[in-house]
Amino acid sequence: MDQSTPGDQQSAGPGLALPSNLLKIVGVFASLALTFIGLTAITFIIGRVMPADPVLAIVGDRASQEVYDQVFLQLGLDKPIYIQYFKYLGQLAEGDLGTSIMTAQPVADDILRFFPATLELATVATLLGIFVGIPMGVVAAVHKGRWPDHIVRVIGLIGYSAPIFWLGMVALLVFYARLDWVAGPGRLDVYYDGIVEPKTGVLMIDAAMSGEWEIFRNAFSHLVLPASILGTFALAYIARMTRSFMLDQLSQEYILTARVKGMPERNVIWGHAFRNVLVQLITIIGLTYASLLEGSVLTETVFSWPGIGQYITNSLFNNDMNAVLGGTIVVGICFVGINLLSDLLYRLVDPRVR
């Protein structure tokens, strides 16, 4: 069709196309800024607009009228709503997420303390998903319709369908309470608490850095179960997507070309088809990682894992709105950040969008 030719006009090759690339990156950041504004607008609405009386939520219903009025002015509720929003943005920009009622500390400090635990959990789970899920998906696609495919499909469906909190409970019952193969809830046994200086906040790294191998082993034993449970979900998702991408690529004509060249089948699969799949998987892995950061809420509750999910849940029950919204914003930013990173990585790896 004649209309499809504009692209052809520019088929000059890999020359100097920097300005248009720059434009694309500027576009990515512009959309990032917009997303951020949307994110904060929503948390702002949830925190300041939707509750019937935000002041009451803070001071409680037994406070005197004086205290009430003081907080009312402090919150700037007498000002127009958009000014309140800009003030809110200003505070966020300074890293000020307000003070937690529950811990009486700045929410930002709290989050810094709780976040590494979540990061540790989600990272290990994602790695599990990548290193187990991808080969599973490839094997399933190559053996489509035969038993390896069926096995992968069943594992994937169960990982997809099981409520993660329930799976965690059952796993605790079986592997901790009955079999005693792993350590129980929490990140460490009580008597190891506070020995290692929290440098990174990621316990296993801290322990390794200070040479406390016994603590390292204990931390690992605590991590295995929650990470596997969370990883099951990641694995199911990644395996399933890998399988469908792989099937798609294997039916492409360039695969036939590779076979015509006389290539061994293993190289056709890993050298040609998988290279294309990998490009698509970057986005999927990013999505998985981001969703695990938030999906850990339930796992953390079940395993008493002192991460950000548990922090948000506890704050919620204590009506600690600052902490809830602070946590939401931080997780939201991670979400957006990871997606941005995978988008940029994708642009770097795929020659077609470079």
Partner 1 sequence: MLAEITLRNWLLAEIPQSKSQARCQRVYISWLAFRRNPVAVIGLLIIASLVAVAALAPWITASDGLELHLSERLQAPGSEHWFGTDELGRDIFDRIIWGSRITLYIVALVSIIVVPIGLLVGTVAGYIGGWVDTVLMRLTDIFLAFPRLILAMALVAALGPGLENAVLAIALTTWSPFARIARAEALTIRNSEFILAAQVQGVSTAGILLRHVTPLCLSSVIVRLTLDMAGIILTAAGLGFLGLGAQPPTPEWGAMISLGRQYLIDQWWVPTVPGIAILVVSLGFNLLGDGLRDVFDPKSGG
Partner 2 sequence: MTRAPEAPLLSVEDLHVTYDTPTGLVRAVRGVSFELGREKLGIVGESGSGKSQTGRAILGLTAPGGQVSARRLDFEGTDLLTANHRTMRRIRGAGISMIMQDPKYSLNPVMTVGAQIEEAFRIHSKASKQEARLRTLEMLRTVKIREPERVYKAYPHEVSGGMGQRIMIAMMMIPEPDIIIADEPTSALDVTVQLQVLAVLDDMISERGMGLIFISHDLNLIASFCDRILIMYGGKVMEECTAADLGQAKHPYTRGLLNCLPSLEGGHDELPVLQRDPSWLTSPGVPE
Partner 3 sequence: MIDIQSLDVVFGHGRKVFHAVRDVSLHVEQGQSYGLVGESGSGKTTVLRALAGLLGRVARVSGEMQVAQELLQGQSRSQQFRRRVQMVFQDPFGSLHPRHTVDTILSEPARVHRLDRIEQRVVHALEEVGLDASFRFRYPHQISGGQRQRVSIARALITDPEIILLDEPTSALDVSVQAEVLNLLMRLKREHGLTYILVSHNLAVIAHMCESLSVMQNGAVVETMSVQQLRDHSPAMPYTSQLMIASLGYDRAAIDAFEEFG
**Rounded Cα–Cα distance for residues 311 and 313 (Å):** 6
Q: Which of 169, 170, 171, 138 is nearest to 152 (CA)?
A: 138
> Which of partner 1, partner 2, partner 3, none binds 312 (CB below 5-8 Å, type-dependent)?
partner 1
**Rounded Cα–Cα distance for residues 323 and 126 (Å):** 27
The footprint of partner 1 on residues 33-72 (CB under 8 A) is 34-35, 38-39, 42-43, 46-47, 50-51
Binding mask 287-326 for partner 1 (x = CB under 8 A): ---xx-xxx-xx--x-------x--xx--xx---x--xx-
Q: Based on CB atoms, which residue is closest to partner 3, 22 or 49? A: 22
Write down the least CB distance from residue 11 to partner 2, Å.
5
Q: Which residue do the tokens 């770097």 mark? A: 348
Q: 269 is written with which tokens? A: 């699969």
Q: Kindly tell me which residue out of 50, 262, 266, 317 binds partner 2, with binding defined by CB under 8 A.
A: 262
Distances (CA, A) of 59 to 63, 99, 350: 6, 13, 54
Q: Based on CB atoms, which residue is closest to partner 1, 167 or 203? A: 167
* Interaction between residue 6 and partner 2 (CB under 8 A): no
Q: Based on CB atoms, which residue is closest to partner 2, 1 or 50? A: 1
Write down the least CB distance from residue 140 to partner 2, Å.
16
The footprint of partner 1 on residues 74-133 (CB under 8 A) is none
> In Å, how far from its chain's centre is CA 60?
34
**Rounded Cα–Cα distance for residues 316 and 338 (Å):** 26
Angle at which helix 107-128 crosses helix 274-303, to 10 degrees, equals: 130
* Interaction between residue 2 and partner 3 (CB under 8 A): yes
> Which of partner 3, partner 2, partner 1, none binds 43 (CB below 5-8 Å, type-dependent)?
partner 1
> Which of partner 1, partner 2, partner 3, none binds 2 (CB below 5-8 Å, type-dependent)?
partner 3
Task: State whether the Cα torsion 181-186-192-196 is positive or negative.
Answer: positive
Q: Kindly tell me which residue out of 187, 240, 243, 272 binds partner 2, with binding defined by CB under 8 A.
A: 272
* Interaction between residue 20 and partner 3 (CB under 8 A): yes
The footprint of partner 2 on residues 11-50 (CB under 8 A) is 11-14
Residues 6+ away with beta carbon under 8 Å from 76: 83, 84, 87
| Cβ-defined contacts of 58-63 (< 8 Å, 24+) | 58/101, 58/321
* Interaction between residue 345 and partner 2 (CB under 8 A): no
Q: Which amino acid is at 285?
A: I
Q: Based on CB atoms, which residue is closest to partner 1, 208 or 345? A: 345
> Where does this chain bind partner 3 (CB under 8 A)?
1-3, 5-6, 8-10, 19-20
